Each structure stands twice: as structure tokens, then as C-alpha cells.
Amino acid sequence: MQLLQALNPQVHNLRLRFCLDFQQRLREDGFAETLVFSDEATFHVCGKVNRHNVRIWRRENPHATIDVRDSPKMNVFCAVSSCKFYGPYFFAEPTVTGINYLDMLQLWLMPQLQEYIVDFIFQQDGVPPHYHLDVRAHLNANLPGRWIGRASHNDSPLLPWRPRSPDLTP
């Protein structure tokens, strides 16, 4: 299994624009204090590295490979703001899907965020469960213009997540 991401000029320009927009927002008073960074990771008992959470950024392919063996795994979610750590949340299912991710947002994370932060901005990356239609519909309805993530032209994020972008989590 290879852990590489291609960096072509079109993707580079989209990522640069995102970074410049994000840096501009960080200069605004109070923006950083309202951010809630989130991410999840898969941990395998055998030590296998999840290729969706680890990136090797290089101009040349090092031809790195990892021996893959089946082993038990655990999917864990956490979020962090300037004033609080949320988690860990352990998914009971072996795979994070759009449906169980949405359940976690609605039943576990959003009630906590609304209790501690007024008008927070929620950041998630571009993995498929985050892009699920029901997840985006929930974010559009409950956090219009207050979420950062992978979006379609019908969505209302504050900033759309760019392709092949590394995580922003602190």
C-alpha cells in the first residue's frame, strides 16, 4: 500500500487559495476562539498505518510499502477548541460511515459544542463520511456559513475543504 498524494498545479492552486483565505480569517478578532477542529483515526492492533490518516509528501515516489495484515481495529473521533477537548468518541461499528458519523454529530458532539461555545465554526476534513449528503444537509441546516469541509456547489460552508489537503488539526 502506498502512502503518497499527487501534487498537481490545479490542486496546488486550490490549496493555496484555501490557506490564504484561512490565514485572512485568523486575523479577524475572535475567529480562532470559535474554531473547533475535528478528526478521526483508525488504530489497528498490529500497528498497521491507516493510509487515510498518514501522508508522505515528496516530489519523488520513495516506493514505500507497508505489510498489510488483518487485525482488530478501533475508530476514534476527537474535537478540540480553544477552551475544551471533546472526546474521545469510539465508534462501535468497524467502519465510519456517513450515517454513524451523522449520529455522532447529532447525538454526541453538537449538544456539547452548543453548551460551551456560542456561534462556533466546525472544521472537518474531506473524507467520504463527512461528504455524505445527510451530513452536509445537517451542517447546512444547523451551521450555515459556520462549517469548514468538503462541499458541493449547493452547500453553505464558511470555507470549502480542498482536494488532497492535509489535516488542520492542532
3 state SS of 98: helix
28-160: CATH topology is Nucleotidyltransferase; domain 5 (3.30.420)
Q: Cα 40 to chain center, whole Å?
A: 7
Unique residue bearing C-alpha cell 491507516: 50
pLDDT confidence of residue 89: 97
**Cα–Cα distance measured from residue 69 to residue 46, given in angstroms and rounded to the nearest whole number:** 8
Cell of 14: 486550490
In which element (H, E) is residue 27 found? none
pLDDT confidence of residue 100: 97
**Phi-psi region at 76: left, alpha or beta (left = phi > 0; alpha = psi -120 to 50):** beta
Q: What's the pTM? A: 0.81
Mean pLDDT split into 10-residue runs, the chain, 170 residues: 60 84 92 93 75 62 64 91 94 95 98 90 93 97 95 94 62
pLDDT confidence of residue 57: 62
pLDDT confidence of residue 28: 92
Tell me which residue of 102, 105, 79, 74 sits closest to 90, measured CA to CA: 74
Map out the domains of the chain as residue ranges: 28-160
pLDDT confidence of residue 71: 75
The amino acid sitting at 141 is A
Cell of 132: 455524505
pLDDT confidence of residue 118: 81
